[in-house]
Amino acid sequence: MDDYSKIFDLSGRRALVIGGASGIGRASCSGLASFGADVICGDLDIAKAKEAALAIAVEGRTAEALHIDLCDRDSVAGAARTAGVPDVLVISPSINVRKPLLDVTEEEFDRVVGLNLKSIFRALKVFVPGMVARGKGSIIVFSSIRAQVVEPGQGVYAATKAGTLQMIRALAAELGQSGVRANAIAPGIVETPLTQQIKQNDAWYRAYSDKSVMRRWASPSELVGAVVYLASDASSYVTGSYLLVDGGWTAADGRFTPPLPASSHAAAS
């Protein structure tokens, strides 16, 4: 019988997390390091990236910080020269402009598409060829439930998340026999800087909580399991996937719970 005790072990693997200074990216850095990976916390904010790396190192694990501006071709190329070829590549940064689609300016459109979609393409172009040449690697990119469901004010953001998913699926198909896997994680509502606008509006915040069948928001730490899974040998036959971590948001229809008869399995009072 096979020994599965090390199926999530990442010892000896080098993981680059772009967007590793905060939110889901920072939690991913910590989680990957916990399973033995040598982590590079890559971010535009190098000061916060150093804080994230130091927090991991204090716990006796290996981490370093790396400055990378995904919107700058030269910065990405320079980061690749410094970091080398990672075994695991995680890309998490996103921005959003919440406006009716017809009110979005071309400049705003270009800014959201530039970071959320084009910069991922740029990073893949730079980091993935080395993984292919080595014949092994895991690419993990953050999409969103907005690749599947949308609401007013999310048109451009949703388009980039759907585009990210399809780009990753195409990459998975193209690299299927290379030993390199590519997958997308789709978070639901997560307590991150990107959702600060919602958190400041109590009614909006509660409505989002109620839409999830778990009736609450996620913390960044609750995305770590999906990242570790896709980084590890536990997912060795998983590529081109859209892994939902959304608290059941996309499983349930609507925000109203119909009045149903009491369950016959309910405990007697």
Catalytic residues: 157
Rounded to whole angstroms, the Cα distance separating 49 from 141 reads: 19
Strands, sheet with 88-91, edge to edge from the N-terminal-most edge strand? 63-67, 38-43, 14-18, 88-91, 137-142, 180-187, 242-245
Q: What are 36's two structure tokens?
A: 């033995």
Tell me if residue 88 falls in helix, strand or coil. strand
> From CA 92, how far away is CA 219, in angstroms rounded?
15
DSSP label at residue 116:
I
Q: 15, 92, 96: which is closest to 61 by C-alpha?
A: 15
Q: Which residues of 125-150 are buried (b: 16+ CB within 10 A; e: fewer)?
A: ebbbeebeeeeebbbbbbbbbbbbeb
